Amino acid sequence: MRFLIFQLQAPLASWGDTAVGEYRPSRDYPGLSALVGLLGAALGIRREDETAHSALRDHYAYTVGIQSSGALLRDYHTAQVPSQAALKKRPHASRRDELAIPGHDLNTVLSTRDYRQGAECVVAVEASETASYSLEQLADALRRPRFALYLGRKSCPPGAPLYPQMIDAADAESAFETYLERVRAELAHQSPAPDRPLFEPPSTITRLAWSVNATVGRSPDLTTTRKDHPLRRKGWMFGDRTEYVALISQEG
């Protein structure tokens, strides 16, 4: 089985969860919508191209190896927005245009937004026979993305190279082990001396999370429903999907 493996690390990440009202929570690892959006951005697919996003959703299988959930950061957020009535008969192609109306027509919106500090994970991608892009093409796009990549929100750029690698393995967990060995070897090669590492070695994987059709090689400890199945990227509409989670023993 052939896998594309890459890593996601950042000082801040925000993997959206079901949001109602003013509270915007974050999961501690990316879901299907986030991974589809990330690959779409790397390939240069625009948000309104729903056919291309649907292909990334339906013709690939994704497994996430969670290394660290990071620490929770909660932001009290304020933003000024004009009412729909104030925007009538006013061209507003940008945020600057929206705020160019008189101050008394602006409203203040309050929200609470969650972020994860220092979270780490690795992602395995499998392609079906009907996939629009090969795994090699996806890897090249991650190395030279067409659009800026970010981990959930535009304020969360990657803090380390995604380092995409093609790996042949029996399942995603084995592919992750091979990938982390490559990362450790590359970090050791880049260090000036064995006792003077430039970077910390990657953390071990503590959990696996995957969707239907992913090749993982172990039974789940938890089966849950997650509302991150992208239906319309432009309209931010999501459906339910089944997600499987397995805990990785750290003994020995």
Other CB atoms closer than 10 Å to residue 203's CB: what's the count? 14
Q: Tell me what pLDDT residue 22 has.
A: 78
- From the number of C-beta atoms within 10 Å of its C-beta (0-12, 13-18, 19+), residue 192 rates as exposed
Confidence (pTM): 0.87
Q: How far apart (Å, rounded) are the C-alpha atoms in residues 156 and 159?
A: 9
Residues of the chain with pLDDT under 70: 21, 194, 197-198, 250-252
Answer for the pair 66, 8: CB distance below 8 angstroms, yes or no. Answer: no
Domain covering 2-16+27-70+118-247, topology: Alpha-Beta Plaits (3.30.70)
- Angle at which helices 32-43 and 135-143 cross, to 10°: 70
Q: How far apart (Å, rounded) are the C-alpha atoms in residues 114 and 24?
A: 6
Per-residue HEC secondary structure of 100-129 comes to CCCHHHEEEEEEEEEEEECCEEEEEEEECC
Tokens of 205: 């994987």
Q: Tell me what pLDDT residue 91 has.
A: 75
For the chain, the structural domain boundaries read 2-16+27-70+118-247, 72-117
Answer for the pair 8, 30: CB distance below 8 angstroms, yes or no. Answer: yes
Q: Tell me what pLDDT residue 110 has.
A: 84
The closest alpha carbon to 31, from 227, 170, 247, belongs to 227
What pLDDT digit, counting tens, does each position of 58-85 carry?
999 999 999 999 999 998 878 877 777 7
